[in-house]
Amino acid sequence: MDDVIAVNAPIRVAQLGCGTVGSHVARLLLSGTDLSAHIGHPLQVTGIAVRHLDKARPGIDPALLTTDSESLVDDADVVVEVIGGIEPARTLILRAMAHGASIVTANKALLAAHGPELYASAEANGVDLYFEAAVAGAIPIIRPLRESLVGDEILCVKGIVNGTTNFILDEMTNSGMSFADALGLAQELGFAEPDPTADVEGFDAAAKASLLASLGFRTQILGDEVSRDGITSVTTDDIEAANRLGYVIKLLACAKPLDADPTQISVWVRPTMVPLSHPLANVHGGNNAIFVESRNAGRLMFMGPGAGGAPTASAVLGDLVTVARNRVAGVHLPPTMDSGSRRAASHGDAMTSAYIALTVADSPGVLARIASVFAAHQVSISTVHQGPSDARSAVLDITTHCSRWGDVQDSVAELKTLTDVVHGDIRVYAVEGN
Amino acid sequence: MDDVIAVNAPIRVAQLGCGTVGSHVARLLLSGTDLSAHIGHPLQVTGIAVRHLDKARPGIDPALLTTDSESLVDDADVVVEVIGGIEPARTLILRAMAHGASIVTANKALLAAHGPELYASAEANGVDLYFEAAVAGAIPIIRPLRESLVGDEILCVKGIVNGTTNFILDEMTNSGMSFADALGLAQELGFAEPDPTADVEGFDAAAKASLLASLGFRTQILGDEVSRDGITSVTTDDIEAANRLGYVIKLLACAKPLDADPTQISVWVRPTMVPLSHPLANVHGGNNAIFVESRNAGRLMFMGPGAGGAPTASAVLGDLVTVARNRVAGVHLPPTMDSGSRRAASHGDAMTSAYIALTVADSPGVLARIASVFAAHQVSISTVHQGPSDARSAVLDITTHCSRWGDVQDSVAELKTLTDVVHGDIRVYAVEGN
């Protein structure tokens, strides 16, 4: 580290961005909360970089605002990045680290896209890069994975990491709303962005899943390596069918090594049927919840509000205290991720039970033909229920034992070719165990 | 710190105790788990202090065992204390810190009784004192309170922190067993000690509550300052009555400042009626769960196995990595508790809703007399249900609005004097909100 804090000089904190999260951070930094006492050293906010100086920002001293973010980061001990998005956040963070500043960021999209570059720069410059706020709001999950469980072996990280989609699926489940109506309601209430793509297509959850996978399995997996399905095609019929069978549909993120080759980490985000008795089935509204299963600690669950200005600001401030303490002591947290031998598994290799609903001709021999398709793809059927039927066709609800996701998909592709037997759409979901 | 780690010298770890937790820690330390890689520095277990050298300890090199615990701690960089109990743990930890060693301990009883002395010694000697394993097994709760939430304001810490009593209450609830039978089953299955006093009388939960209160509210509250009721007098009748009203009985620990004077922290452990819809109602068997409510982060919940050798060992190893890293860097975590202006509130000042069940004469004017007793003590009644009755008496289930616990107790004491109206025992429970 080329910057050392002089005995009485305050720690200079530069803030980048002053939106929803940033304005909460700024107000907490500038008022009340006495972080210096926890750090054992004075702290000084040197400035807040914004795009437009003339926007009204109640409670924030306008003299602190600047559009010159480069000068601001060049003269900082710690940079708090709450701009979001890739640029200019990436360039400014790299510049700050090159100047010897430690970083606190809430930016999952940036870390999921450019994590390896940023971790390498932090290590090369001997600075900290903390990002508790990037996953699941104020729920402490990064620190437990990076520090508390570092002497354990993590077997699986799984959970609900996007509050917007959880809210939408909750509304569809509880009031029978269509996806479009539930999305509209979420937008009306401010739980969804005007452009909801990042949430409803699963990009946000995939970014978080990549961070959880990287920390849990000490590797570097990018957001676009995550197998991803959003919730836009989930129908109320699917939700009703799931409920009939004792499940609720949740957008789950999951990371775990393949049994067949633990150096390959299967990471996916997809709408999943979760048993009603499972704790994740009872995570409602905008809440997030993350399960960590480890060799010795067993199954741990962390739950709380997954987003929002105040929770995210709480996580940023917790990180800021630690990073500032480390600065004063002249140390930094060693890297917990490396670009070692573990890598993302091929999407088809993910193992899961599956649910397949299909409408078939109600005639003898049909089930045998369908079963033989699954068998040919090494997919073992667990249960078959016949649902609503009319004179000529019946709905089959099929669940499988734990199978390769690719084999399930191949089975479905082949089933679609049996047009004399299979009518209409085939619905496929992953199914979570108890 | 008077000991500095030489560049290539390993960090010398001394372990005290080799019982259920200790043998798990030792096996993890001595086999497989590569802590050195996470520390960035070699680690050496210099010895394990035990009382009897000749006991069979599979997987542990007998050459490491010693009965000379004093020499062992005198020559250590980090001491892992898993003896439990007050002495000799206290004397050895103080001796180790005076010699410059950092401490990792799972010993809640010791911290609850002598925390202030130990924290002061750690600070005076410039060493770390870590104790994640002391509360709720491997659930990361100490580190979140001490570090993640340090920039936030904690409003309340509440939860189920004793797995033995949770198992017993669960059995009583699910199979209608008496307390004695459920305790017998817990002992048979190894979930309860042959002498179950510490668990069933709430001493263990009170010790943990004192630690959570001290960390959450940055003060020093001792275990014997905690208002404490155990579960020995909970009856199956109480549990059935609770169920009828939509509650389940759990042994809850709670710490929160008094509204009237936030420098006074109300800390209690008592059997509490928890609404069936509350997440804590669904914490089963030996699991623990802790709610933390804070100004900005909102309501966070942490859940997992609350005890057991492997989970506790996982937490010990997580702490050991951090403490060892700090030793290498020559730093230690600053104290997060102080003996400042906050103190434990008087037990009667705790605020809670309450449930009171009493058998009364079934005659006109009785309810008015009972209500006037509550009113005289400033206890406001929320609901009254008349339960099973015969020709001459009726059972009243009364719930109150949030009241001083002391006023509820005073009301009950006065009701007991109304022998012409009130027949037999009066049952009283705290009631948790939603």
Q: Which pLDDT belongs to residue A6?
A: 61
pTM to 2 decimal places: 0.92
Query: Out of A39, A144, A334, whose CB is closest to B40?
Result: A334
Rg of the Cα trace of chain B?
Answer: 24
Tokens of A270: 């997809």
Query: A208 and A115 in contact (C-beta within 8 Å)?
Result: no
* A220 pLDDT more than 60: yes
Average pLDDT rounded to a whole number, residues A221-239: 96
Q: Is there a contact between A314 and B334 if contact means CB atoms under 8 Å apart?
A: no
Over residues B255-309, the pLDDT tens digits come to 999 999 999 999 999 999 999 988 899 899 999 999 999 999 999 999 999 888 9
Which residue is closest to B218 within chain A, CA to CA? A38
Name the helix (H) or strand (E) containing A385.
strand A381-389
Distance CA B67, CA B69 (A): 6
Distance CA B253, CA B289 (A): 10
> Residue type for B87, please?
E
State percent of chain B over pLDDT 70.
Answer: 96
CA distances from A364 to A271, A361, A384, A388, A389 (A): 33, 9, 16, 17, 15
Which residue is closest to A29 within chain B, CA to CA? B151
Are β-strands B381-389 and A43-49 bridged in parallel, bridged antiparallel, or unpaired?
Answer: unpaired
CATH number assigned to the domain with residue range B143-305, chosen from the 4 options 3.40.50.10680, 3.30.70.1560, 3.30.70.1380, 3.30.360.10? 3.30.360.10
| Band (A279; pLDDT cuts 50, 70, 90) | confident
In the block, which residue shows the tokens 């189920």? B160
Distance CA A253, CA B318 (A): 25
Distance CA A310, CA A322 (A): 19
Eight-class DSSP state of B335? P
DSSP letters, A303-342, are EEE---HHHHHHHHHHHHHHHHHHHHHT--PPPS--SSS-
Distance CA B133, CA B145 (A): 14
Contact B40/A at CB under 8 A = yes
Over residues B28-70, the pLDDT tens digits come to 998 856 788 888 889 999 999 999 998 888 889 999 999 999 9
Q: Which fold has domain B11-138+310-329?
A: Rossmann fold (3.40.50)
Query: A349 and A405 in contact (C-beta within 8 Å)?
Result: yes
Are β-strands B393-400 and B264-275 bridged in parallel, bridged antiparallel, or unpaired?
Answer: unpaired
Closest CA to B216 of B257, B162, B160, B185: B257
Rg of the Cα trace of chain A?
Answer: 24
Q: Which pLDDT belongs to residue B389?
A: 74
Query: Out of B39, B150, B334, whose CB is closest to A318?
Result: B150
CA distance A391 to chain B (A): 43
Q: Which pLDDT belongs to residue B59?
A: 86
Contact B35/A at CB under 8 A = yes
List B78's β-bridge partners, or say none: B13, B102
Tokens of B287: 């699991």
In the block, which residue shows the tokens 């937790």? B21
Q: Which pLDDT belongs to residue A434?
A: 64
Q: Which pLDDT belongs to residue A2?
A: 43
Distance CA A161, CA B273 (A): 31
Least confident stretch, A233-242, B86-95, B201-210, B305-314 = B305-314
Distance CA A176, CA B142 (A): 42
List A271's β-bridge partners, or say none: A251
Q: Which of B300, B317, B319, B321 to mutate to test the interface with A (most CBs of A within 10 A)?
A: B300
Closest CA to A92 of A114, A112, A65: A114
> Residue type for B181, please?
D
Q: What are the residue ranges spanned by the domains of chain B?
A: 11-138+310-329, 143-305, 350-431
> Residue type for B234, please?
V
Query: What mean pLDDT value characterizes chain A?
Result: 92
DSSP 3-state helix, strand, coil percentages of chain B (rounded to 5)?
Answer: 40, 25, 35
Which residue is closest to A293 within chain B, CA to CA? B304
CA distance A379 to chain B (A): 33
Q: Which pLDDT belongs to residue B434?
A: 64
Are β-strands A78-81 and A102-105 bridged in parallel, bridged antiparallel, or unpaired?
Answer: parallel
Q: Which pLDDT belongs to residue A334?
A: 77
For helices B179-188 and B163-175, give the axis angle rounded to 10 degrees.
120
List A275's β-bridge partners, or say none: A247
Maximum C-alpha span of chain A: 86
* Residues in chain B closer than 8 A to A146 (CB atoms): none
Based on the number of CB atoms within 10 Å of its own CB, is A363 exposed (0-12), middle (13-18) or buried (19 or more)?
Answer: exposed
Q: Which pLDDT belongs to residue B356?
A: 97
Least confident stretch, A49-53, A58-62, A332-336 = A332-336
Query: A236 and A176 in contact (C-beta within 8 Å)?
Result: yes
Query: A101 and A82 in contact (C-beta within 8 Å)?
Result: no
In the block, which residue shows the tokens 């709408």? A271
CA distances from A96 to A1, A25, A121, A330 (A): 12, 19, 10, 17
Burial A207-246 (b: 16+ CB within 10 A, else e): bbbbbbbbbbbbbbbbbebbbbbbbbebebebbebbeebe
Contact A275/B at CB under 8 A = no
For B154, how many CA atoms within 13 A lie in the half-sphere containing its CB?
A: 27
Q: Which pLDDT belongs to residue B310?
A: 93
In the block, which residue shows the tokens 């997060």? B336
- The interface residues of chain B toward chain A in range 345-404, judged by CB-CB distance below 8 A, are none
For A388, how many CA atoms within 13 A lie in the half-sphere containing its CB?
A: 4
Distance CA B79, CA A277 (A): 43
* B340 pLDDT more than 80: no
Query: A139 and A161 in contact (C-beta within 8 Å)?
Result: no
Query: Which residues of B are annotated as catalytic?
Result: 208
Name the helix (H) or strand (E) containing A47.
strand A43-49
* B1 pLDDT more than 50: no
Overall CATH class of domain A350-431: alpha beta
CA distance B356 to chain A (A): 31
Contact A304/B at CB under 8 A = yes
DSSP letters, B306-327, are ---HHHHHHHHHHHHHHHHHHH
Query: What mean pLDDT value characterizes chain B?
Result: 92
Query: B324 and B11 in contact (C-beta within 8 Å)?
Result: yes
* A30 pLDDT more than 80: yes
Are β-strands A403-404 and A351-361 bridged in parallel, bridged antiparallel, or unpaired?
Answer: antiparallel
Q: Which pLDDT belongs to residue B393?
A: 86
* B429 pLDDT more than 60: yes
State ipTM.
Answer: 0.90
Average pLDDT rounded to a whole number, residues A119-144: 94
Q: Which pLDDT belongs to residue B97?
A: 97
CATH 1.20.930.40 is held by the domain A142-305 = no
Distance CA B422, CA B370 (A): 9
Over residues B190-239, the pLDDT tens digits come to 889 999 999 999 999 999 999 999 999 999 999 999 999 999 999 999 99
In the block, which residue shows the tokens 């609770």? B242
Q: Which pLDDT belongs to residue B9?
A: 85
Contact A285/B at CB under 8 A = no
Spell out the residues 6+ positions from residue B7 whose beta carbon is closer than 8 angstroms to its own. Answer: none
Other residues' Cβ atoms within 10 Å of the Cβ of residue B372: 9
Which residue is closest to B144 within chain A, CA to CA? A140
Query: B112 and B206 in contact (C-beta within 8 Å)?
Result: yes
